Structure 1
Amino acid sequence: MTMPILDIRNLRVSYDANVPHCAVNGVSLQVFPGEVVALVGESGSGKTSIAQAVIGLLQGNGRVDGGAILLNGTDITRWSQKRLDAVRGAVVSLIPQDPTGSLNPVMTIGAQVREILTVHGKARGKAADRRVIELLTKVGLSQPEVRARQYPHELSGGMKQRVLIAIAIALEPALIIADEPTSALDVTVQKRILDLIDDLRREFGTAVLFVTHDLGVAADRSSRLIVLKGGEIQEEGATADVLTAPQNTYTQRLLADAPSLSAPARIVRRSRAGETPLVTVENLVKDFALPDGGVQRAVDGVSFGIDPGTTHAIVGESGSGKTTTIRAIAGFERPTSGSILIDGLDARTLKGETLRQFRRKVQLVYQNPLASLDPRQSVFSIIEEPLLNFAPVARDERARRVAAILDRVGLTQATLARRPHALSGGQRQRIAIARALILEPKLVILDEAVSALDVTVQAQILSLLAELQADLGLTYLFVSHDLAVVRQIADSVSVMHEGRQVDHGSVEAVFERPTSAYTRDLIEAIPGRRRQAEGARSNPSETAEGYPA
């Protein structure tokens, strides 16, 4: 019988804090050669702690309290860091989540790849230089000789992640631990990175322990699935079995909440025939001056309208012009040409107090609520602040409005005295939404507002946004790179690529009949499509898109 490369037995991990915290409680699992095992679960489920324990890189206040970690049959649980150095990279490698924070900013890319070769005595001098180029070529980096001389800040996020993969495979390890390796990447870049890991696994017979909160990625890429919650395994089995017939109620909820796996019901889109759009963008152009005197065109001739009470989505990869477009609509960037009308006002011509008052009609909710909320303020002060900035409102009336909007976003009044650091990610995003709505805006711009949230929390926020839109008649401009979410919540969509709008129309039209090759590539790259297609083949009443036929 084949021996597992990784054999975890009854692992227990805890962290010392004001109140000691048990992060992993009696987890046992095995990973065999050539196998991809996915650990899935929400933040705090223990999946990253398991990965870090395997490679001996727990945080300073973390410790293994019990159990055993066997690598190729050898118990490495109590090994010193010096002994673990001998197996890191050679037997087991880690591909971390954050490529920017994982690379040394003052070392060239070539030097960082070469380091693992020299530390383990595998190559030196010109032989090491040749091996570096081979590795950079293998992971698909263009102009590998040039990349080897560059520093991390000169590479895109996808390029940096490829460098980390080159380092991880340099010594052809038996096991790769991939800890959320694509969560910060655009969907098409994500697909290329995941394809690369698959190719390398097949070439070297490497096993992969995939740590992810994205069930779409796990569905497409793993052979076995292990679902974690609260440091304990809730369910495990062949990926296809767990996805098609989950036995555990937590697994069932995760799958129901995952937009890339749940087949969205065909909904009747809101009809606004003959109604004047709340937002009209026509031939929007935005240029930026370059230091050498040249001009960079960030947005090139974008046009769309948003009817009152509907949701328009802008999708595209990093650098596509999404952010510049919404900043122009919000009045933070002055367009080079074109027009932006919001509720009958020309955003380009507004100045001074008129512009300031206009901004109360247009409110933004950002991707990272922790960064957008003042850590020194209480929740009450955060929500109250816009009322102090825009209108003279009596103190008692301010308190009444803050309490009312807090209730509207589903938080208790006890939350008002707390500060952002004491709240969960979902609670912080609800506070950011409450702050945006306190001024009763006409348009709410949601800039990647759910992309940093776990799937269940994401589903709760999307449900809240839909409820608020129905109750308050809100109009949304939803910016995202997650097409599965866009398909679920938007009425219309603009697809942007290199500053241009390459597709535009209703969500149904764009997803089912895309006119550009770029849009087709984006749709093909949505995680979970493989499993949806397989499900559709076994259920002829559904199309491959997951919609009822």
Structure 2
Amino acid sequence: MSTATAPHPASAANADLPVLEINNLAVSYRSNNDFQRVVHNVSLQVRPGEIVALVGESGSGKTTTAQAVIGLLAENGRLESGAIRLNGTDIAGWSEKRLDTIRGSKISLIPQDPTGSLNPVKTIGTQVAEVFQIHRRGTRAEIEAGVIDLLARVGLSQPELRARQYPHELSGGMRQRVLIAIAVAMRPALIIADEPTSALDVTVQQRILDLIDGLREEYGTAVLLVTHDLGVAADRADHLVVLKGGRVQEQGPTAEILASPRSDYTRKLLADAPSLAKAQRVKRAGPRPAPEGGHAIVVEDLVQDFPLDRGRRGAFRAVDGISFKVARGTTHAVVGESGSGKTTTARSVVGFQKPTSGRILVDGVDVTTLRGEALRQFRRTIQLVYQNPFASLDPLQTIYQIIEEPLLNFDPLPREERARKIHAILDRVRLPQSVLTRRPRTLSGGQRQRVALARALVLEPQVLVLDEAVSALDVTVQAQILGLLDELQQALGLTYLFISHDLAVVRQISDTVSVLYNGRQVDSGTVEDVFLRPGSPYTRELIGAIAGQRNLPMMNTSNHFVGTGQ
């Protein structure tokens, strides 16, 4: 092995001492002229080769705690009190310059966003080499060899080629492997993994977590895992630290907390996690056709081609012969990884693009034949709710204006009637009337998604297409939105086309499902049939990759958990 990748493991003599020890940590943020404390007397330990997970909702203090450890608090943040000991040395009061000497070499960070964390104008090899150059490890030739060795170690195919490529030429999973390579280059004693897989598909997530696990075992590295995904924490962590409002609710061995959580908040988190709460379906099993019966959506032999880039002949087939039917008043899920064709299918059903061939009937109307005003009016029947509630709402509009806009586009109603509809739909999605004068930035993620639902429902459509509509939400907020969707479906007789990569959520909310792989449908049927008797190896792989299955059999049934059922 080259000098560039020389190890820096904790010494055997210190193997029983914590790599990281936090005592009574308090952190605050400045707002105007005042400081508001957001982390309150947090204490925890991480030992060599151990994974400790910080879990909690947004605003719980988990990321702030992790940032304090590595000295990367926001400019308006300050460490008020407490000790942060790395291999016995308190680094809490260290200057930025002094912290730079240990970042990368003794303590490393795997950030959440693989796209925003890499420099788009530098090659992958250049960016990995920088960590060696900063810490002056090896000659130029040794560093180049070390880069290739690292990229190979984190499982990137053709590492020499990857070293010459730029971030945009790699997939999300490949970019995350590059960030892991940078984090482990100096073989630090501690790695902080901040939501390292939250933006990845389930199978890619499993491979990345396996990679971190393997490197931890090989190097004896301690890992502080920051996550809102209880399934990931249940599978991977030795210890859990549960945070709420910046305070530790409980902590201890993962198996013990999963089996017998002591705090009400932990019990709620576990009950709300779709990958853990297998016994708690949002709705009763099986299709539930509305009284009028029939199918709200019929898709037959859908094909969607897209022309290749300039200079290249032919077309790329994104969807290849997909067929399914959705009974009125039920939920049909379309699942698969990025690139599987699920979003392309959804856009075709909504009428945003004309398919290459095939037939799509929505409420008896062939969408593929509609043009102009007929197509515009058709969109009153079917509405789309997007994934990201932070990006899908106009930041300059008030909530009233956002919900009113579809009425202005379609219904020439008097102002008083529009107001009545807006107030009624706000009640329906369980938002207070006081939000109508506010703007999206002042609302939480869950509130914004309720606004998005209100905007979609104000026209009284028959069908909602939900494109990853809960994937950007914390587990508790996600559970609230899923419960709301079920209430709305039962009250209004809605039909849902639910687009998702999260099979745990699909199992919880859907009646029927289509599994897509590389544009083809490889499995379809009722949720129970597909999950219990998957017909394709790909579906089996997807189901096997659902986080949270490793520790399920040991859970106490009094807490509403059951075994895997596989």
- For the criterion TM > 0.5, the same-fold answer is yes
* TM-score for the superposition, normalised by structure 1: 0.97
Q: 1:32 to 1:454 in 2, by over 3 A?
A: same
1:74 corresponding residue in structure 2: 89
The aligned counterpart of 1:457 is 477
Aligned to 2:263: 248
1:413-455 Cα distance to aligned partner (Å, 9 max, x none): 1111111001010000000000000000011000000001011
1:396 and 1:537 map into 2 onto residues whose CA distance is 52
After superposition, the C-alpha distances for 1:275-331 in whole angstroms (9 at most, x for unaligned) are: 321110000000001121221000000000001000000000000001110000000
In the TM superposition, 1:292-441 aligns within 5 A as 292-441=312-461
Q: Does 1:529 align with 2:549?
A: yes
1:222 aligns with 237
**Residues of 1 paired with 2:121 and 2:141: CA distance?**
22
Cα distance in 1 for partners of 2:120, 2:244 equals 36
Secondary structure of 2:332 counterpart: strand
Counterpart secondary structure, 1:501: strand
The SS at the match of 1:477 is strand
Q: Does structure 1 retain, via aligned residues, the 8 Å contact 2:285–2:511?
A: no
Give the equivalent residue in structure 1 for 2:182: 167
Question: What is aligned with 1:9?
Answer: 23
Mapped partners of 1:71, 1:542: distance in 2: 39
- The aligned counterpart of 2:3 is none
Query: Partner residue of 1:200?
Result: 215
| 1:121 maps to amino acid | R
Q: Is the 8 A contact 2:260 2:556 kept in 1?
A: no
1:85-143, CA deviations, whole angstroms, 9 ceiling, x for partnerless residues? 11111111000000111111111000111110111111221111111010000000000
Q: For 1:6 and 1:178, how far apart are their aligned partners in 2?
A: 14
SS at match of 2:163: helix
Q: 1:278 aligned to 2:292? A: no
Partner of 1:477: 497
Aligned to 1:432, the other structure's residue is in SS state helix
Corresponding residue number in structure 2 for 1:106: 121
Give the percent of matched residue pairs that are identical in Structure 1 and Structure 2. 66
Conservation of the 8 A alpha-carbon contact between 1:4 and 1:31: yes
Report the counterpart of residue 263 of structure 1 in structure 2: 278
Distance 1:536 1:510 in 2: 27
Contact 2:255 2:554 in 1 (8 A): no
Match status 1:139 vs 2:157: no
CA distance in 2, matches of 1:51, 1:317: 30
Separation (CA, whole Å) in 1 of partners of 2:73 and 2:238: 27
Which runs of 5 or more residues in structure 1 are unaligned? Answer: none
Q: Following TM superposition, by how much is the alpha carbon of 1:460 offset from its aligned partner in structure 2, in angstroms?
A: 0.3
**Equivalent in the alignment of 1:510:** 530
Q: Indicate if the aligned counterparts of 1:95 and 1:164 stay in contact, CA closer than 8 A.
A: yes
Counterpart secondary structure, 1:45: coil
The Cα offsets for residues 30-59 of structure 1, whole Å up to 9 and x where unpaired, read as 111111000000001010011111111111
> In the TM superposition, what whole-angstrom CA distance separates every residue of 1:439-495 from its partner, at most 9, and x where no partner exists?
000110000000010110000000000000000000000001110000000000000
Tell me, in whole angstroms, the C-alpha distance in 1 between the residues paired with 2:72 and 2:432.
38
Tell me the SS of whatever aligns to 1:545.
coil
- Tell me, yes or no, if structure 1 residue 184 matches structure 2 residue 204: no
TM-score, with structure 2 as normaliser: 0.94
Pairwise CA distance, 1:532: 1.9
Distance 2:293 2:491 in 1: 19
Q: What is the CA-CA distance between 1:536 and the residue it aligns to?
A: 9.4
Distance 1:259 1:542 in 2: 12
Query: Which deviates further from its counterpart, 116-125 or 242-251?
Result: 116-125
Where does residue 225 of structure 2 map in the other structure?
210
Indicate conservation of the 8 Å contact 1:536/1:544, yes or no: no
Match of residue 252, structure 2, among 237, 242, 250 = 237
Cα distance change on mapping 1:475 and 1:538 into 2, 3 Å: closer
| Counterpart residue type for residue 143 of structure 2 | A
C-alpha RMSD over aligned residues: 1.6
Does the CA-based 8 Å contact 2:340-2:520 persist in structure 1?
Answer: yes
Does structure 2 conserve the Cα–Cα contact (< 8 Å) formed by 1:118 and 1:124? Answer: no
Which structure 2 segments of 5+ residues have no match? 1-13
Distance in 1 separating the partners of 2:521 and 2:148? 37
